[in-house]
Structures are given as C-alpha cells and as structure tokens.
Chains A and B, each alone.
Chain A
Amino acid sequence: MKVKIQDIEKIVKKHGGEKGAVIPILQDIQGSYGYVPREAVKVIARELSIFPVVVYGILTFYTQFYLTPRGKHTIKVCQGTACYVMGGKEILDHLSKALEITEGETTADGMFSLERVACLGCCGMAPVIMIDKDFHGKCTIQKLKTLIEEYRAKK
C-alpha cells in the first residue's frame, strides 16, 4: 500500500483539537497501513507542533505499534501464566518452527507475522492464540496445522 502524505494529514486533522491525540492518531494510521510508516512520524510532528523524536518515543514505547509492514495475518501467541503452564511455550515454539520465523518477524511471503502477547485474558481456554481479531483456544499442534492452512487459503 502506497503511503500518501495527504491521507496521513487527514487522519491527524481528524483528531485535531483532541487532548492527548498522538496515540489515537498512531492507532488510526496503523489501522490503515498495518504499521506506522516513517513518513507519518514527520507529518504528525509537524501538524501537532512537537518534535519528531517525541512521536518516535511514543511509537517505540508501546508494543502495539510497528515500524515495518506486517504480514497479512498476525498471529499472537499468549504467554500468560495459565497458557504457559498449559503448554503455551510449546505452541510458540511450534509456530516459530512451522513458519520459519521468530517472534516479531514476518514470513517471506508476507502471509504471517508472529508475536507473543502477555495475556489475552482467555485463561479458561488455555493455551490460546489470536489470529487477527479471532481467538482460538485449547490449541494443539494439530489444531495449529489446520488453522495455518485455513488462513493460508483465505484470500
């Protein structure tokens, strides 16, 4: 997706008068691009009259924001206490092996990004993963295989 300065300006202006707008702006930009493009930092800084380093500082503080494009599907693997004792680490290891990427990376075909997350708050169905906005509980290696195939087949 090509980054258009005007689009970014539009997002920034939408939050114009709002107090504490930087985070919602970054969230919206990431919502449209899947990551926060480098160019956006400058635009936000200019429009809000703050230094780019302030924007960059916020951007890198929160785990939700990315500076590089993400895969088509983001897989978040829960590493909360309940998931950990129910085998969440094995789930993460398996996905990492199956997709040939480590956490934080994206597969070469741009299909999947793999991430760890502190807790998804679904401890009752541990171990849990979240693909895009959907939760998948009681994960097993077999279930992961099916899920990956399912998402790969999705257009």
Chain B
Amino acid sequence: MAKNEITVLICQGTACVSGKAPQIREALESEVKKAKLGRSVKVDFTGCHGFCQRGPIIIIEPEGIFYCDVKLEDVHEVVQSHLKENTIVERLLYKDPATGKAVPHYRDITFYKDQQRIVLANCGHINPEEISEYLDAGGYQALKKAMSEMGAEKVINEIKKSGLRGRGGAGFSTGVKWGLCRAAKGKVKYVICNADEGDPGAFMDRSILEGDPHAVIEGIIIAGYAIGAGEAYVYCRAEYPLALKRLKKAIAQAEEKGFLGRNILGTEFSFAIKVKEGAGAFVCGEETALIASVEGRRGMPRPRPPFPANEGLWGKPTLINNVETFANISHILVEGAEWFSSIGTGTSKGTKVFALAGKVKNTGLIEVPMGTTIRELVFGPGGGMLDAKAGFKGVQIGGPSGGCLPESLLDTPIDYESITKTGAIMGSGGMVVLDEKACMVDIAKFFLKFTVAESCGKCVPCRVGLKRMLEVTEEISSGNGKEEHLQFLQEMGENIRKTALCGLGNTAPNPVLTTLKYFADEYKAHIEDKTCPAHVCTGLIKFEVIEEKCVKCGLCYKACPAGAIEWEPKGKAKIDKEKCIKCKACIEACRFKAIR
C-alpha cells in the first residue's frame, strides 16, 4: 500500500487552474518520471485549499510542506531540489506578512492555524475525483451507520439535537425541517440541494463541490433516507463548470459503488440524484423560485405557505438545503450530536465557512466555530488590512441581503442572532473587507443596482421600490442629494423589508439601511457638503488642486492621460477642467491628497 513515500498534491480548484495548475501537474509528472522518482513519489491532485489568493498551491506530504504561487518554471527545481535532494525550495514557501519569515508547514500558516475545519476537512487533502480517497478518509460511514444502526427517526433526532441550522442564510433548524418533510403526507418526496450560490462575494459552495463532492452527496442521500424521498436534484449554477463536472463524476462513482441507485446497501431504499444546471438568475437561490426553475419555468417565487416541506417540487413534499448544510451531515452522524453542539454558541452550533475577500492580506475560505468575532476573523486568518495605511472602514457581510458593519461592531460574535441584531444577516457567508477607499453610498448603490437587475418583477415593492431607492442614491452620489432623501430611503427600505414577496426583496434594502445607520456621516457629506470623502463618486469630485497641499512633485501631471494638467518643474499643478475626463488618475497618483 505505502509504496509511495512522498505524495505531491497540486491543487486543481478553479483559481489554481486559472494559474496554470493543470500544466504544472503535467510538468511535475514528467519531471518526476525523468528523475526516475516514480517509485517513491506520487503526483496527485486535490480540490480547493481555500487560499486561492496564493495559488497555484502545492503540498508535499507527509511533512505537509506548502509551496505557493508556483509557476511552471519552478517545477524543475521542486523536483530536483525537494524530491531528489530533500532540500526545501525556500523561495516558494509562504512568507508571513507580519514577520517576513518563511513558513514551511501548511499547519503553521496563520491563515490555516486558527481555523477549525470540519466541512472543509477533506478539501485540499483528497483527490475529489476518486471515491476511494473519500472512502479512505472515512467517507460513507455515516450513511452506513444511518441505515444499519440508526433508522430514519433516529437520524432526524440526531440532527435536531446537534442544533445544525441552515447554512444558506435564513438559519432554520435543519432537523426540524427534515422532521416536517418526513411527517408530510405523500408517497413521492424530493430532496433539493441548493447549489445556486449567487451571492456576490461567496464561494464556499463552489469549493466544497470542487474539493469534496462526495461529502455533499452523502449528506443528500442521508436526507433522502431520513425523509423517505426517492429522488434528489442538485441545482447548481452554470458559472461553476468545474464544480458541475466533479459533481457529475462523483454521482456516477457513487452509483457504481452502490451508494446510489436501487436497493442501496442491500436495503429497500432506492435513491437517485440528478443535476440541474442553473441558467443565470440570482432569485433562483430563493427556494420557491428554485423549484419553479427545476420545473422548467421562469424562476419566480410564490407566497408561502404552503411551504415546500408540504408542497414543493411538482406539488410534492420537498426538502431544500444548501450545500454547506449537507456537507455537515455525515460529520454529525459519525461524531455525534453532542460533539457537534459542543462547538459554537448557545443558539448557533458548529462551524461556518466564510469567504473572506476584499482589502485583507489573506483572502480565501475560512472555517471557524460560530461565535468567533469578526475582528478575530479579519485580523486572525485574514492577516489584517492589505494596505496598512488605508485603514479599516467596514466589513460587508451576507452579500446583497446583508449589510455593512463599522469598526465599532468588529467584536460582534458571528452567530445568527448577533448578526441579525446589527441589521445585516449571516447570509451564505460572504465577507468583504472595505478600507477607507470605499465609499459607503457607492457600496449601497452597487448593491441596489444588483438587486434591481435581479428582481424578478413579480411583486411591486421589490420591482418599483428598489428602483426608486436606486434613483435616490444616484442623485445623492451625483451631487443632487437633498436632506429629505435620507428619510425617504429609510422609510422605503423598511416598507420593502416588510412587504416584499420573497427573501430577495425582504433583505434587499439591508445594504442601504445598514449604511444609513452606521455611516450616516458619509451620506451627510454627500448631501450637505457635496463631497465624497473616499473620492469615489465622480460627480462630487471638483477636480481641483488644493494649493496648500500641493508639493509641486508633478506626479499628477505624469499620470494624466488627457493632458489636462498644467505643471512645470517646481511649480504647482493646475487642472484644466475643459480637458479633464474625470478618470481620477491624478487622485490615484497624488500622495498628498492635494486634489479634491
């Protein structure tokens, strides 16, 4: 079995693939062969490690040496030096941004050190296209246990006891949902896995499907067994070609091994999983819209009740859970509900995967226990601000349904209730860090543009109300803001929240309402002083040189693509407004904030 003493794992997640990881893998294989190391070295690949920013990533086991930003031309050295002569290639190691020191081992890197990986445990460590590796890692044990030892009722009780709540955003108790579906009348029932990860800024579901598809499949089968369903659909976005490919491959392998199909594990239980590709509509993340889309109709939501648990796909009882929720199931059944509920806070159990992005040093997927504070996340695994000079301004949580939280709320623990209290929502776990260069009015406008474009148009509050809010924010950012606009935004936002038909509409005002609440000064600066403090809203920039601040360096003159800046050595710069194209190149170039 252990013929290979060394395994070289090269990440083949979407991000690393874009960095030529497949070519690197080929080169590794041929170099290893050339160096006649084939007997002792195995070259294999894994799914996403979550540290996409530093890809392509190579890990060399068993020691766990971590090479990042690997290029094709580095392969020769890795093989010759590391694999042949056992000398670590120093320059490819991760350098801690705080200390500047190289960190050879994967587990010692700050990004990974403070994480508690349960859902992501296999991601980056097993080959996602080989069911045998999932089996070796203890895969499908939970399914066996559920079917042979526990039985459906006990499975549902265990999930209830674990305290697991839906990871898609709303946070409804998973066990209760399963119980409702099991109790629902009807012989034909369905399971749907929501992999329509549309929230801008969230990519954990993609990574789980790419890195450990069998974990999701196992969760779905257990759910089907528990509620008495015979068929499941995975509704996945078409923007995730690699996830789709691996998922389909994994389903075929599970069928081959008898975990899917007729008489699973020699019992009466038969179950099939089909994949439905989304066609590009954000609203399809909402469960009733998703069902409409699977049925082949326009993806528009409908009022609830009846809830899908009673009347879902084709009018039959349907259980809908998100990818990350399903990926938790097998761990709960194997390790027990007690173990799971020992992680997290009083009402939010287990871990949550966050997609940290934006202006932080380390971006990527971070799995931490519920109850971890935002500060611990951003300044721990996140490594702090990308540009120390451009200070922390806020963090956007939960995408277009969530909100922007200021520095004063950095110590908010991440659990469903605490996040909701701030006016944001947990959402699917997207977290984008903003620095002082971000304008909060612009961010609010950005999300409104998104929700206006994605509104399905069925209900008036969402279709018309959001459009009105967008128009007002556009007025504000172009310098035509009025005092009464703020009250209008507040009232309209609250009304839409109360009256829209579905989750998209109900939560769409959140980005505006939270920025109004926590960054009121910025709105005031736009309206009263007609300035954009972050220099983002072009309509509010005067494109004037502040004479007292100008140090006569001429950087703006060199940066201007339109030749609109008059400057002579040792003279102050002046902007010709006739020629100025308002591209902001001068503002970017000026180190002295001398242009307003």
Q: Which residues of A contact B (CB under 8 A)?
A: 19-24, 26-27, 57-58, 61-65, 79-86, 117-126, 130, 133-137
16 more contacts with CB within 8 A, not counting A19-B295, A22-B296, are A19-B296, A21-B296, A57-B298, A58-B297, A58-B298, A61-B299, A81-B357, A118-B198, A119-B201, A121-B203, A121-B237, A121-B240, A124-B15, A126-B358, A130-B239, A134-B18
Chain B residues with CB below 8 A from A80, complex form: 200-201
Which of chain B's residues has its CB closest to A22's CB?
Answer: B296
- Whether the pair A62, B432 counts as a contact (CB closer than 8 A) is no
Is A27's CB under 8 angstroms from B359's CB?
no
CB-nearest residue of chain B to A135: B18
Residues of A contacting B14 in the complex (Cβ-Cβ under 8 angstroms) = 121-122, 135
B450 at the interface (CB under 8 A from A): yes
Contact, CB under 8 Å: A118 / B15: no
Is B350 among interface residues, defined by CB-CB distance under 8 A? no
Say yes or no: B294 contacts A20, CB within 8 Å: yes
In the complex, the answer to whether A123 meets B294 with C-beta atoms within 8 Å is no
Q: Which residues of A contact B299 (CB under 8 A)?
A: 61-62
List B residues 498-543 near A (Cβ within 8 Å).
Answer: none
With a CB–CB cut-off of 8 A, which chain B residues contact A123?
Answer: 201-203, 355, 357-358, 363, 430, 432
Shortest Cβ gap from A26 to chain B (Å): 7
Interface string of B354-375 (1 = CB under 8 A from A): 0101110001110000000000
Within 8 Å of chain A (Cβ to Cβ): is B324?
Answer: no
Residues of A within 8 A of B446 (CB): 81, 84
Whether a CB of chain A sits under 8 angstroms from the CB of B53 is: yes
Any A CB within 8 A of the CB of B475: no
Closest residue of chain B to A128 (Cβ to Cβ) is B18
Whether A62 contacts B281 by the Cβ 8 Å rule is: yes
Greatest chain B CB density within 10 A among A21, A117, A121, A135 is at: A121
Closest approach, in angstroms, between the C-beta of B377 and any C-beta of chain A? 15
Q: A58-B296, A63-B281, A126-B357 are in contact. Are A135 and B17 (CB under 8 A)?
A: yes
Interface residues in B374-432 (C-beta closer than 8 Å to A) = 396, 399, 430, 432
Determine whether B287 belongs to the interface, using a CB cutoff of 8 Å to chain A.
no
Q: Which 4 A-B pairs have the closest CB atoms?
A: A20-B296, A124-B52, A80-B200, A82-B357
Interfacial chain A residues near B52, Cβ < 8 Å: 122, 124-125, 137
Question: If A80-B201, A85-B438 touch, does A124 touch B239 (CB 8 Å cutoff)?
Answer: no
Within 8 A of A (CB), among B257-289: 276-282
Q: Does B241 contact A (CB under 8 A)?
A: yes
Closest A residue to B279 using CB positions: A62
B15 touches A137 (CB 8 A): yes
Q: Give, as a whole number of angstroms, the nearest-CB distance from B507 to chain A.
A: 15
Which residues from chain A contact B294 at a C-beta distance below 8 Å? 20
- Tell me whether B206 is interfacial, beta carbon within 8 Å: yes
Pair B200/A82 contact, Cβ less than 8 Å: yes
With A and B bound together, what is the CA distance between A49 and B365 in angstroms? 47
CA distance A27 to B434 in the complex (A): 38
Contact status A119-B200, CB under 8 Å: yes
- Chain A residue with minimal CB distance to B54? A124
CA distance A122 to B446 in the complex (A): 19
Q: How far is the CB of A147 from chain B (nearest CB, A)?
A: 11
State the CA gap A134–B432 with chains docked (Å): 24
Q: Is B474 an interface residue (CB 8 A)?
A: no
Q: Does B255 contact A (CB under 8 A)?
A: no
A19 touches B279 (CB 8 A): no
30 examples of A-B residue contacts, CB within 8 angstroms: A20-B295, A23-B276, A23-B279, A24-B276, A27-B238, A63-B280, A63-B281, A79-B200, A80-B200, A81-B430, A81-B432, A82-B200, A83-B200, A84-B200, A85-B432, A85-B434, A119-B198, A119-B199, A119-B202, A119-B239, A121-B206, A121-B237, A121-B240, A122-B52, A124-B355, A124-B363, A135-B17, A137-B18, A137-B19, A137-B52
Q: What's the Cα separation between A63 and B42 when bound, in Å?
A: 43
Contacting pair B399 A81 (CB below 8 A): yes
Give the nearest-CB partner of B13 in chain A: A122
CB atoms of A64 and B357 under 8 A apart? no
Instruction: Closest B residue to A30 by CB, please name it.
Output: B279
Find chain B residues with CB under 8 A from A64 CB: 238, 278-280
Q: How far is the CB of A127 from chain B (nearest CB, A)?
A: 11
In the complex, how many angstroms separate the beta carbon of A97 from the nearest chain B beta carbon? 11
Q: How far is the CA of A112 from the CA of B50 in the complex (A)?
A: 32
In the complex, how many angstroms separate the beta carbon of B301 from the nearest chain A beta carbon?
13
B51 part of interface (Cβ distance < 8 Å): yes
Interface residues of B in 312-370 (CB under 8 A from A): 314, 355, 357-359, 363-365
B211 → A minimal CB distance (Å): 13
| A23 partner residues in chain B, CB cutoff 8 A | 276-277, 279, 293, 296
B65-79 with Cβ < 8 A to chain A: none
Find the B residue at minimum CB distance from A58.
B298
- Provide the bound-state CA to CA distance between A84 and B444, in Å: 12
Chain B residue at minimal CB-CB distance from A133: B241
**Residues of chain B within 8 A of A24, CB atoms compared:** 276-277, 296
Select which of B203, B295, B314, B399 is within 8 A of A122 by beta carbon. B203
Chain B residues near A65: list those with CB within 8 A: 279
Cα distance A58–B284 in the bound complex, in angstroms = 13
- B190-245 residues with Cβ-Cβ distance < 8 A to A are 197-203, 206, 237-241
Q: Compute how far the CA of A57 lies from the CA of B293 in the bound complex, rounded to whole angstroms.
A: 12
Q: How far is the CA of A136 from the CA of B298 in the complex (A)?
A: 31
Q: Is the CB of A86 within 8 A of B201?
A: no
Q: Which residue in B279, B295, B432 is a CB contact (below 8 Å) of A82?
A: B432
Q: Of all chain B residues, which has the CB nearest A89?
A: B446
Nearest Cβ in chain A — how far from B271, in angstroms? 17
Determine the distance from Cα of A33 to Cα of B490 in the docked complex, in whole angstroms: 47
B128 contacts A by Cβ under 8 Å: no
- How far, in whole Å, are A23 and B290 apart by their CA atoms in the complex? 13
A27-B277, A123-B201, A125-B18 given; A117·B239 CB < 8 A: yes
Q: Report the bound CA distance from A22 to B297 in whole Å.
A: 8
Cα of A27 to Cα of B296 in the assembled complex, Å:
12
Known contacts A20-B295, A81-B357, A82-B358; A121/B280 CB under 8 A: no
Query: Do residues A82 and B296 form an inter-chain contact, with CB atoms below 8 A?
Result: no
Give every chain A residue within 8 A of B456 (Cβ-Cβ): 61
Contacts of A84 in B (CB 8 A): 200, 446
Known: A62-B281, A65-B279. A121 touches B17 (CB 8 A): no
On whether the beta carbons of B450 and A124 are closer than 8 Å, the reply is no
A14 to B53, CA, bound (A): 42
- Report if B114 contacts A (CB, 8 A): no
Roughly how many angstroms separate A84 CA and B399 CA in the complex, as a whole number?
12
**B454 x A118 contact (CB < 8 A):** yes
